[in-house]
Amino acid sequence: MSDSNKSGGIILVGLFIALGLAASGYFVGQMMYNAKVAVNTAEAKGLAERRVEADTANWTLRFDLAGGSQSNVSALYKQAEKHQQTIINLLKENGFTDDEIKIGVIDYRYQEYRDDNQQLVDQKHILAGSVDVETDKVKQIQKVRGNVNKLIAEGINIQNNPPKYYFNGLNDIKPEMLREATQNARIAANEFASNAGVKVGSIRSARQGSFFIRDVGSEYSDSEKIEKDVRVVTTIDFYLTD
Per-residue pLDDT tens digits for 60-115? 999 999 887 667 888 899 999 999 999 999 999 999 999 999 999 999 988 777 77
pLDDT in tens, 160-201: 999 999 999 999 999 999 999 999 999 999 988 888 888 998
Domain endpoint, select from 165, 188, 205: 165
CA distances (Å), origin 120, targets 76, 113, 117:
22, 6, 9
Cα–Cα distance for residue pair 112/127, rounded to 1 Å: 15
Task: Give yes or no: residues 206 and 139 share one domain.
Answer: no
Whichever domain contains 124, its CATH number is 3.30.70.2970
Residues 6+ apart with CB under 8 A from 11: none
Which pLDDT score, from 0 to 100, does residue 39 have?
Answer: 52
The chain-wide mean pLDDT, for the chain, equals: 83
Q: CA–CA separation, 78 vs 76, rounded Å?
A: 5
Q: What is the DSSP letter of 222?
A: S
Higher-pLDDT residue of 227 and 23 is 227
Q: Last residue of some domain: 144, 165, 186?
A: 165
Domain boundary among the residues 165, 189, 206 is at 165
The pLDDT, as a whole number, for residue 70 is 66
**How far apart (Å, rounded) are the C-alpha atoms in residues 149 and 156?**
9
Residue 119 banded pLDDT, cuts 50, 70, 90: confident
Whether 195 and 160 map to the same domain: the answer is: no
Q: How far apart are CA 235 and CA 184, in angstroms?
A: 10
Are 78 and 103 within one domain? yes
Are residue 73 and residue 128 in the same domain, yes or no? yes
Same domain (yes/no): 60, 154: yes
41 exposure class (CB count in 10 Å sphere: 0-12, 13-18, 19+): middle
The mean pLDDT of 114-139, rounded to a whole number, is: 88
The answer to whether residues 98 and 119 belong to one domain is: yes
Residue 194: CATH number of its domain: 3.30.110.170
Q: Which residues pair with 45 in a beta bridge?
A: 235
Single out the residue of 57, 102, 96 nearest to residue 223, CA to CA: 57
192 and 240 belong to one structural domain: yes
Same domain assignment for residues 185 and 147: no
Contact in structure between 236 and 44 (CB atoms under 8 Å): yes
Q: Do residue 154 and residue 186 come from a single domain?
A: no
**Which residue did the predictor score with more confidence, 236 or 118?**
236
Which distant-in-sequence residues (6+ apart) come within 8 Å of 37 by Cβ? none
Query: What domain range is 7 assigned to?
Result: 1-31
Give CA–CA dist 63/128, Å, rounded: 6
Q: What is the DSSP letter of 164?
A: E
Residues 154, 176 within the same domain:
no
- pLDDT at residue 194, rounded to an integer: 86
Flag whether pLDDT at 19 surpasses 90: no
Q: What is the pLDDT of residue 79?
A: 93
Q: Quote the number of domains for the chain.
A: 3
Instruction: Tell whether 48 and 65 lie within a shared domain.
Output: no
63 and 146 in a single domain? The answer is yes
